[in-house]
Amino acid sequence: FFKYVENKQPYVTMKYAMTMDGRIATHTGASKWITGEASRAYVMELRNRHKGIMAGIGTVLADDPMLNCRIENGVDPVRIVCDSHLQIPLECQLVKTAKDIETIVCYAEENEEKQKALMEAGVQLIKAEKDGQVDLEKLMMELGSMEIDSVLVEGGGAIHGSFLTSGLVQKVYCYIAPKMIGGKDALSPVLGKGIEKMSDAVEITDVTVQNFGSDICVSGHMKQKKEG
C-alpha cells in the first residue's frame, strides 16, 4: 500500500456488521450471527488480504474470537489486541494459540506477572501509552516498524470510536443485515464522544454497494480532513 511506503504506517480498514436499526449486538451482548454465511465468507477474504487484524479487549472478553482466516490456502493475519490494562484471559483462544498464530497485545498499564505469563504463552507485547490508555498512533508506528503494512479492525464500538477520532482509518466496510434488534442499551458500531455538528461528520467517498445473500455491504474511503 502507498500509505505504508510513504509513512511506514499500516493502511487501516474498519469492518463491522450491523442490523438495519444500527446495532452490532443485543443489550446482553449477543451478536452471533447478525449477517449470513455469504457476508461472513467475504470477511474471511478481507482477513486474507490484510497483514494484521485488530480487536479491542471488549470483543475478546465478550466473544473469545480466534481472528484467523478460515479459507482454503488462506493466510492468518497477525492478531493484535488493544488491552490497556492487560485484562486478556490466559485461557482465551488467542493466548492458547499464540505459538501457532502470531499474536500481539498492546497495553498501557504495567502488570509484570501478567506480562510474563503472556510472553511464556508466545504472545508479543507492545507498550504504547498515553493518559493511561493505548495510544493508537504510537501503536500504528510500532506495527509499521514490524512491517505490518495493513490492519483490519474488527472490534466493538469503543475501538471503532477511538480509531475514527484519531483519523487513522482509510477504508470502511459496513455490512447491513435485514434484521432489527431495538432497545436503547443494544450496542452500536461506533462509540466515543462523537461529534457536535453534522458539518464535522466524517464523509465516505468512492462508495460501493454489494449484495451478499440478503445482506448488503456499503464500503468506501474515509475522507481525510485537511490540516489547518
Q: pLDDT (tens digit, 9 = 90+) per residue, 102-154?
A: 999 999 999 999 999 999 999 999 999 988 999 999 999 999 999 999 999 99
d(C-alpha 81, C-alpha 103), whole Å: 8
Task: For residue 225, name the pLDDT band (cuts at 50, 70, 90).
Answer: low
The C-alpha cell of 129 is what? 501509552
Place of cell 497495553: 107
Task: For residue 227, name the pLDDT band (cuts at 50, 70, 90).
Answer: very low
d(C-alpha 217, C-alpha 185), whole Å: 25
pLDDT at 14: 96
Of the candidate ranges 10-14, 140-144, 189-193, the one whose mean pLDDT is the lowest: 189-193
3-state class of 81 per DSSP? strand
For the chain, what is the mean pLDDT? 91
Of the candidate ranges 1-5, 37-41, 44-48, 69-73, the one whose mean pLDDT is the lowest: 1-5
d(C-alpha 174, C-alpha 17), whole Å: 6
Task: For residue 3, name the pLDDT band (cuts at 50, 70, 90).
Answer: low
The C-alpha cell of 96 is what? 492458547
3-state class of 212 per DSSP? strand
Task: For residue 6, name the pLDDT band (cuts at 50, 70, 90).
Answer: low
Residue type (1 letter), 159: I
Q: Is 0.95 surpassed by the pTM of this model?
A: no
